[in-house]
Structure 1
Amino acid sequence: MLAVSLMPGTAIAAPCGNDGSGFAAWKTAFAAEAQRAGVGKRGLQALAKAQYASRTIAADRNQKSFRYSLAKFMQVRGANTIVAQGRTRKARNAAFYAALERQYGVPAGVLIAIHGMETGFGGFMGDSRVVSAITTLAYDCRRSDFFVPHAIGALKLVDQGAITAETRGAKHGELGHTQFLPGNALTYGIDANGDGRIDFYNQADAMASTANFLRQKGWRPGEGYQEGQPNFSVIKQWNAAGVYQKAIAIMAAQIDAGG
């Protein structure tokens, strides 16, 4: 566990940095923030083991696909394949997706399009250590304020046993089948298969959690989700890139129209 030495009532924000040289000192300061936020022993031990993730920083500086035109983005991300496979997956698991729509109001096409876009339907869920990646982003000065709550979330997920210090995810610390940021995973996670554990690497839990996220963010059952329609603004809550939002809406409609 990281040592914490603060005077009572003192709150010192951990200083951000732009390279790995200050990461160890940042972790020591951040451990105090994490404790104040309710992170326990296992979470703090995971923080102590975290390593500066150079690949995460490189990826964060080079997100060029979001600068593509919509047509180019959909081509690069394999939209036609996602739609074709998505229709098959919907037909194969019709009862499961119908149950999710009854409970959360989110159509199958939207959930399946996100699943396909994020991980190729679970084909590749990432090879970066989640805790190291998300704490590196919390430390990095570029978007520290955004990522600090997700770093706290990741450490709390460790406390809960949902992940460990070794759990692998995407380079920005996203988890599982639909690539939840850890803070969102903590808040919106659902145990859909009833095994007593929220597991984002289990497809049922991941899809239900995604549906719950969208519903809690304002999804209106029965309303449209194309650009200009009420639920398009909720897709924006999942990913901030406009080209991503439009692609999800288009693919979702094609999946839903196909069966």
Structure 2
Amino acid sequence: MSSLLRKIPARGLALSLFLTLPFAALAAPCSDTGGQYESWKPLMAEEAKAAGVGRRGIEALMATSYSKATIGADRNQKSFKYSLTKFLEIRGAEAIVSQGRKRRAQNPDFYAALERQYGVPAGVLIAIHGMETGFGNFMGDTNVVSAIATLAYDCRRSDFFTPHLIGALKLIDAGAITTQTRGAKHGELGHTQFLPGNALTYGVDGNGDGRVDLTDLVDAMASTANFLRQKGWRPGAGYQEGEPNFAVIKQWNAATVYQQAIALMGARIDG
């Protein structure tokens, strides 16, 4: 598999300030079909320019194509319909817990260091890693920029995905990704599947090489821990349903069964 994310200077993370910009005043019109996608792109390009996207990012946007695979995946998300028991079975919870315990035992100092710095227990991070990419075994096969652009264009969740499209285009400007970068069907990147806007905002240099690379396990785990901490994770507090940190797990994925699965598997890995 080709690399999902090239090395990006850590200082480039300051570009995340774009997330606070008032997009509504400039918003390009959305659509429920792909028929207007080509005419939407130049309108979106003007919005992107106003948000600080440079020439390379704009060129990348104009080179995108409407992703039917992404729309199909977005319209067919079954996780919201499953019971917790069914979801755990389908996602291979037992295998994730078993492998997760082994991974923690093989590198205890690494996970202990992350917990000291960010307050997030190993089990939660490992459960997310296992759930998202099978511990890095599959990080996606979809063109990231086209996927994110398609979701920004589509009316279903345009407001949510437009900032992430701007993020992807700024990653292009910074040389962090290319027009060929592959990720998940919704444009997520790396070991734990960060959306581009979140990569800018929460990505950290975990291995100390001065760069953030979400295909690097150390950077990805540190970035995941940082995301949770910045979302309000309370070190030492519980993370099961009804406990303080479960509300933070909700920030990771919108599906209730997904949230429950992370908490349950995390506890078993930590146990």
**TM-score relative to the length of structure 2:** 0.89
Instruction: Report what 1:46 is aligned to.
Output: 60
Matched, 1:148 2:170: no
The alignment partner of 2:212 has SS state of: coil
Letter in 2 for 1:89: R
Q: Give yes or no for contact 1:162–1:197 (8 Å, CA) kept in 2.
A: no
Q: 2:104 corresponds to which residue?
A: 90
Aligned amino acid, residue 98 of structure 2:
A
Distance in 1 between residues matched to 2:205 and 2:178, nearest whole Å: 18
Deviation at 1:195, TM superposition (A): 2.5
Which digits, 9 at most, give the CA deviation of each residue in 1:159-206, with x for residues without a partner?
122211111100011111101111111100011122232111111111
Asked which structure has the greater RCO (Cα within 8 Å, sep 6+), the reply is 2
Code of the aligned partner of 1:53: S
Tell whether 2:230 aligns with 1:206.
no
- Aligned pairs (5 A) from 1:1-259: 12-257=26-271
AA partner of residue 45 (structure 2): A
- Maintained 8 Å contact 1:109/1:251: yes
Contact 2:30 2:155 in 1 (8 A): yes
Match of 1:3 in 2: none
| Unaligned ranges ≥5, structure 1 | 1-10
| Distance in structure 1 (CA, Å) of the matches to 2:226 and 2:202 | 6
SS at match of 2:188: coil
The answer to whether the Cα contact below 8 Å between 1:66 and 1:73 also exists between their aligned partners in 2 is: no
RMSD: 1.0
Distance 1:194 1:162 in 2: 17
Q: Is the 8 A contact 1:14 1:26 kept in 2?
A: yes
Instruction: Read off the aligned partner of 2:256 and give its amino acid letter.
Output: G
Gaps of 5+ in 2: 1-24
What do the CA deviations read for 1:88-123 (whole angstroms, capped 9, x no partner)? Answer: 001111111111101000000000000000000000
Query: Matched residues, percent identical?
Result: 73
Moved over 6 A (4+): none
SS of the residue aligned with 2:211? coil
Secondary structure of 1:238's match? Answer: coil
Deviation at residue 12 of structure 1 after TM alignment: 4.4
Shift of 1:66: 2.6
Separation in structure 2 between the aligned mates of residue 194 and residue 155 of structure 1, nearest angstrom: 25
Aligned residue pairs, count: 247
CA distance in 2, matches of 1:54, 1:66: 21
Secondary structure class of the residue paired with 2:233: coil
Following superposition, the deviation at residue 65 of structure 1 comes to 2.6
TM-score for both structures, normalised by structure 1: 0.93
The letter for the 2-side match of 1:134 is I
Distance 1:236 1:151 in 2: 22
Between stretches 136-145 and 40-49, larger displacement belongs to 40-49
Distance change in 2, residues 1:196/1:45 (3 Å)? farther
Q: Secondary structure at the match of 1:237?
A: coil
Q: Do the aligned residues in 2 keep the contact of 1:13 with 1:30 (CA within 8 Å)?
A: yes
Q: Distance in 2 between matches of 1:199 and 1:12?
A: 32
